[in-house]
Chain A
Amino acid sequence: MSQSGATVSQECITAYNDLKLNKKHKYVIYKLSDDNKQIVVDSTGGGDEDYEDFRQKLITAKTKSKSGAVGKGPRYAVYDFEYQLKSGEGIRNKITFIAWSPDDAGVMAKMVYASSKEALKRALTGVATELQANDPDDIEFETVIKTVSKGTAA
């Protein structure tokens, strides 16, 4: 269980399985419900969307504070990366878990997301890599693919 006690809704696992087994999505973005009690699906994507669309969704994510003020919001995401190997030995897929928590989000939101992460991560079986990202540079495609492929991507 996570340290905050937040739980994972069933739809999170369904959406993840659609990504992993059915290749229905390229990515799933998760968020905490407004009462911070449950992790739910924020959005899914794929088809003709590219990585940059996904990145923009994270960067522009919002969270409402207790007092009702809207500020930058952390998110969790899984992204199914596909890349060519430098060595020319073919294509690899890696499902990557991203804990996105922008440094300029409110301390309350950051705390809730960081302390609830474990619950979601444990519910999603078969994640190959995990990333913790705190500013837009951390989730630039080149940076991420380098980490995900451990430098083997072309």
Chain B
Amino acid sequence: MSQQPLTTSVQPTETYGGDEVSALVLDPGYCSTRAGYAGEEMPRQVIPSFYGHIDGRDIFGDEVIVPRAGFEVRNYMNRDSVVEDWDAATKIWEHLLLKRLQPERPTPPNKNGLNIGDDGDVAMGDGDNNDENMVDNLEKPLAESPLLMTEAPWNSAKAREKAIEISMETWGCPAFWLSRTPVVASFAAGKATALVVDVGGANASVTAVHDGMVLKRSIQKSPIAGLWLSNQIRTMWEQNEPKVDLVPTFMVENKKPVEAGAPADARLRTFPFPIADSFRAFEEERLLTEFKESVVEVWRGPGRYMAPGNEDYARSQPGRVFEMPDGSNQMWREQRYKVSEGMWDETAAYASAGADEEGRVSKGQTILSLIKASLEGVDIDLRSNLIANIVVTGSTTLLNGFNDRLNMELAAMYPGLKIKVHAAGLTSERRFGAWIGGSILSSLGTFHQMWISKKEYDENGPGIVEKRCK
């Protein structure tokens, strides 16, 4: 067989400074971390920010989180979506950027099996699964890839410096940039000025962006987001008649169909080792997410859900059936609205048994209070322009009815003002809004003059990120 030369399309086309920059985009969040190539429409890799810890080592990705002995699930971020464990953060990011995203590198000739010496066999090491080896082997693993990272607008100066330090020193990136998520989300909606309402997994936040800059005094956040909603569902299930048992999928060995409302007829798996609470909680979250995606809705009005008559009306409407992994199932009618109502009306939130449970909502934490406080933090002349340019992003805003309700509440809160809520129609654009924005920005031919270069970093130190990425 004759050897074919590489076609031009497979040959490397990096012309740093042109449109062909092989930049990487990394968008870390509390629930998941997204990574991919600049210029693409979607992140190539989305993995949980939760990772497994077993026998003193860390393992990453959705598929490794399975029941096993001595297995714990951890997260490298804190609930404010700020990195807490930098060692784990570095490892999980390396797993994404180096292992999952980088093209396979040619095996060195002494190991590729074509040059076997007299002593025979090729050693089949298990190094394939070991990220650390990979990093050690390559001194500067990202020496050809500029890296754009996103961050929450309240990220600390220390965390920002740490991010550039790892990129430049550990990975050898030739260039680096940090983008604040509300700014890129606002740009992706075609607006240099907007009030960005971002309801994600761990946090709901409202941030005013003016001419592409975050207005610091406008930043408001609260935990009334996806995980909070999960806890509301837990409480609702506990208080339901009959009580709904939260049995995650991994526990169920087999099940038989049962009537609605009847107890489950299922055989549960038993494990010869204890299941860590953190693993169980992670698996429960999968089930709760499914319930949120298929059953929960936001009450669209008229008025609030708790207004007289609304609950009876909701009860009379067609419901949704949800089948648990163990086969038990029931129809959810008015509850599927009630469970999300606390986002808007703190008096409607389910109170769980524990006094200072996370489920508690105070008045200042609802989405509407965040918007109000955010607007009060900016110059009065800017407010009407911001209300006319609201950009909604984040997975939790995908709940049916969310935008209708937001519109209705804002109209009641700011009568006479022009209110316009913009939400990307494509689900993916709202789930990955910040990533997509970062991807476009870093793929622009002109963006090469924005990057913080290695040289600039070497001259100024990590403090440069505070000066440049405003």
Contacts and interface: CB of A to CB of B under 8 A. Distances in A.
A5 B192 contact: no
B188 A110 contact: yes
Interface in B401-450: 420, 422, 424, 429, 436-437, 440-441, 444-450
Given A111-B437, A115-B441, A74 B449 contact: no
A37 B187 contact: no
Contact of B446 (A6, A99, A107, A132): A6
> Which of A3, A35, A36 counts the most B-chain CB atoms under 10 A from its CB?
A3
A101 B191 CA distance: 7
A55 B261 CA distance: 60
B446 A5 contact: yes
Interface in B368-417: 385, 389
Interface in A107-124: 107-115, 117-118, 121
Given A115-B212, A117-B212, A118-B211, A4 B444 contact: yes
B436 A118 contact: no
A35 B446 CA distance: 9
Contact of B429 (A3, A66, A107, A112): A107
B403 to A, nearest CB: 13
Interface residues of B, number: 31
Contact of A4 (B189, B190, B446): B446
Contacts of B193: 132
B186 A112 contact: no
Contacts of B211: 117-118, 121
A103 interface: yes
B212 A113 contact: no
Given A112-B440, A115-B212, A118-B211, A103 B446 contact: no
B450 A107 contact: no
> Which of B39, B187, B422, B437 counts the most A-chain CB atoms under 10 A from its CB?
B187
Contacts of B39: 66
Contacts of B429: 107
A103 B192 contact: no
Contacts of A107: 188, 424, 429, 436, 440
B299 to A, nearest CB: 26
B181 to A, nearest CB: 14
B5 to A, nearest CB: 28
A96 interface: no
A5 B444 contact: yes
A35 B186 CA distance: 22
Contacts of A35: 19, 445
Interface in B182-204: 183-184, 186-193
Contacts of B212: 2-3, 114-115, 117-118
Given A37-B445, A107-B436, A132-B192, A5 B187 contact: no
Interface string A115-144: 101100100000000001010000000000
A5 B190 contact: no
A111 B191 contact: no
B183 to A, nearest CB: 8
Contact of B190 (A2, A36, A37, A101): A101
A5 B440 contact: no
A153 interface: no
Interface string A1-29: 11111110000000000000000000000
A111 B440 contact: yes
A134 B447 contact: no
A105 interface: yes
A118 B192 contact: yes
A121 B192 CA distance: 12
A114 B186 contact: yes
Interface in A65-94: 66, 74
A7 B446 contact: yes
A107 B184 CA distance: 11
Nearest to A117: B192
Contacts of B190: 74, 101-103, 105, 109-111, 113-114, 134
27 contacts: A2-B212, A3-B183, A3-B441, A3-B450, A5-B447, A35-B445, A36-B446, A37-B445, A103-B190, A103-B422, A107-B424, A108-B440, A109-B190, A110-B190, A111-B190, A111-B437, A111-B440, A114-B187, A114-B189, A114-B190, A114-B212, A115-B187, A115-B212, A117-B192, A117-B212, A118-B192, A132-B193
Given A4-B447, A132-B385, 8 more contacts: A37-B446, A74-B190, A105-B190, A107-B424, A107-B429, A113-B190, A114-B189, A117-B212
Interface of B: 19, 39, 183-184, 186-193, 211-212, 385, 389, 420, 422, 424, 429, 436-437, 440-441, 444-450
A-B residue pairs, 5 tightest by C-beta = A101-B190, A110-B190, A5-B446, A114-B187, A111-B440
